[in-house]
Structure 1
Amino acid sequence: MSESVDVVLIGGGVMSATLGTLLKELQPDWKIVAFERLGDVALESSNPWNNAGTGHAALCELNYMPDPDDPAKAIGINEQFQVSRQLWTSLVEKGILDAPSTFINATPHMTFVRGEKDVSYLRHRYETLKQQPLFAGIEYSEDSRVINQWSPLLMQKRRAGEPFAATRVPAGTDVDFGAVTKQLFSHLMAEGVDLRLNTEVKKLRRQKDGTWDVRFRSRVGRTPGRLNAKFVFVGAGGWAIKLLQSARIPEIKGYGVFPIGGQFLKTTNPELVAQHRAKVYSQAAVGAPPMSVPHLDARMVDGEGSLMFGPFATFSPKFLKTGRWIDIVQQVRLSNIGSMLKVGVTNLDLVRYLVGELMKSRAKKIDSLREFMPTADGADWELIQAGQRAQVMKGGKLQFGTEVVSSADGSIAGLLGASPGASTAVPIMLKLLRSCFPDDFARWEPRLAELVPTYGTTLNDDVEAARDTMGRTAEALRIGA
Structure 2
Amino acid sequence: MSSVQKKTDIILIGAGVMSATLGALLKELAPDWEIKVFEKLAGAGEESSNEWNNAGTGHAALCELNYTSEKPDGSVDISKAVKINEQFQLSRQFWSYLVDHNLIRRPQDFIMPIPHMSWVEGEQAVSFLNKRFKALSKNPLFQGMEFSDDPRKLKEWIPLMMEGRTPNQPVAATKTDAGTDVNFGALTRLLFDHLQGRDVEVHYKHGIKDIKRTGDGMWKVKVQNLDNGQIEYHAAKFVFIGAGGGSLSLLQKTGIPESKHIGGFPVSGLFMVCQNPEVVARHHAKVYGKAKLGAPPMSVPHLDTRYIGNQKALLFGPFAGFSPKFLKTGSNLDLINSVKPNNLFTMLAAGAKEMALTKYLIQQLMLSNEQRMNELREFIPNAKSEDWKIVVAGQRVQVIKDTAEGKGTLQFGTEVVSAADGSVAALLGASPGASTAVHVMLEVLEKCFPQHMKAWEPKIKEMIPSYGVSLAAHPELLQEVLASVTQSLGLREEAPQKQAYF
2:256 aligned residue: 249
Q: Deviations over 1:367-420 (max 9, x none)?
A: 110000011111011100000000010111111110000000000000000010
Task: Please tell me the residue identity of whatever aligns with 1:59.
Answer: L
1:63 aligned residue: 66
Does residue 289 (structure 1) correspond to residue 292 (structure 2)? The answer is no
Q: Secondary structure of 2:281's partner?
A: helix
Identity %: 50
Q: Quote how far apart the aligned CAs of 1:339 are.
A: 1.5
Q: Deviations over 1:146-171 (max 9, x none)?
A: 11111111100100121111011110
Does residue 467 (structure 1) correspond to residue 479 (structure 2)? The answer is yes
Write the mapping of 1:63-462 to structure 2, written as runs, cut at 5 A.
63-67=66-70, 69-395=76-402, 396-462=408-474
Runs (5+) with no aligned partner, structure 1: none
Q: Which 10-residue stretch deviates more, 190-199 or 278-287?
A: 278-287
Q: Quote how far apart the aligned CAs of 1:467 are.
A: 2.1
- What is the CA–CA distance in structure 2 between the aligned matches of 1:459 and 1:178, rounded to whole Å? 28
Q: Deviations over 1:300-342 (max 9, x none)?
A: 0110000000000000000000000010011111221112111
Task: Please tell me the residue identity of whatever aligns with 1:92.
Answer: V
CA contact (8 A) 1:370 1:376 kept: yes
- What is the CA–CA distance in structure 2 between the aligned matches of 1:421 and 1:327, rounded to whole Å? 21
- What is the CA–CA distance in structure 1 between the aligned matches of 2:479 and 2:283, rounded to whole Å? 27
- What is the CA–CA distance in structure 2 between the aligned matches of 1:445 and 1:464, rounded to whole Å? 21
Alignment match of 2:49 (pick from 43, 46, 49):
46
Q: Deviations over 1:57-87 (max 9, x none)?
A: 0000011112252111000000000000000
Q: Quote how far apart the aligned CAs of 1:184 are.
A: 0.4
- What is the CA–CA distance in structure 1 between the aligned matches of 2:212 and 2:466, rounded to whole Å? 38
- What is the CA–CA distance in structure 2 between the aligned matches of 1:148 and 1:338, rounded to whole Å? 52
Runs (5+) with no aligned partner, structure 2: 403-407, 494-502
Task: Please tell me the residue identity of whatever aligns with 1:260.
Answer: V
1:12 aligned residue: 15
Q: Quote how far apart the aligned CAs of 1:298 are.
A: 0.2
Q: Which 10-residue stretch deviates more, 308-317 or 442-451?
A: 442-451
- What is the CA–CA distance in structure 1 between the aligned matches of 2:487 and 2:447, rounded to whole Å? 33
Alignment match of 1:480 (pick from 479, 488, 492):
492
Q: Which 10-residue stretch deviates more, 16-25 or 339-348?
A: 339-348
If the length of structure 1 is used for normalisation, what is the TM-score? Answer: 0.99
- What is the CA–CA distance in structure 1 between the aligned matches of 2:204 and 2:183, rounded to whole Å? 21
Task: Please tell me the residue identity of whatever aligns with 1:363.
Answer: E
- What is the CA–CA distance in structure 2 between the aligned matches of 1:476 and 1:194, rounded to whole Å? 29
Q: Quote how far apart the aligned CAs of 1:288 are.
A: 2.4
- What is the CA–CA distance in structure 1 between the aligned matches of 2:15 and 2:298, rounded to whole Å? 22
Q: Secondary structure of 1:371's partner?
A: coil
- What is the CA–CA distance in structure 2 between the aligned matches of 1:192 and 1:288, rounded to whole Å? 47
Q: Secondary structure of 1:50's partner?
A: coil
Q: Deviations over 1:118-173 (max 9, x none)?
A: 11111111110010010001110101111111111110010012111101111000
CA contact (8 A) 1:79 1:459 kept: yes
Task: Please tell me the residue identity of whatever aligns with 1:424.
Answer: T
CA contact (8 A) 1:133 1:467 kept: no
Q: Quote how far apart the aligned CAs of 1:268 are.
A: 2.1
Q: Quote how far apart the aligned CAs of 1:290 are.
A: 1.6
Q: Deviations over 1:156-196 (max 9, x none)?
A: 01001211110111100000000110000001011111100
CA contact (8 A) 1:406 1:412 kept: yes
Q: Quote how far apart the aligned CAs of 1:221 are.
A: 1.6
- What is the CA–CA distance in structure 2 between the aligned matches of 1:90 and 1:62, rounded to whole Å? 30
Q: Secondary structure of 1:205's partner?
A: strand
If the length of structure 2 is used for normalisation, what is the TM-score? Answer: 0.95
Q: Quote how far apart the aligned CAs of 1:114 are.
A: 0.6
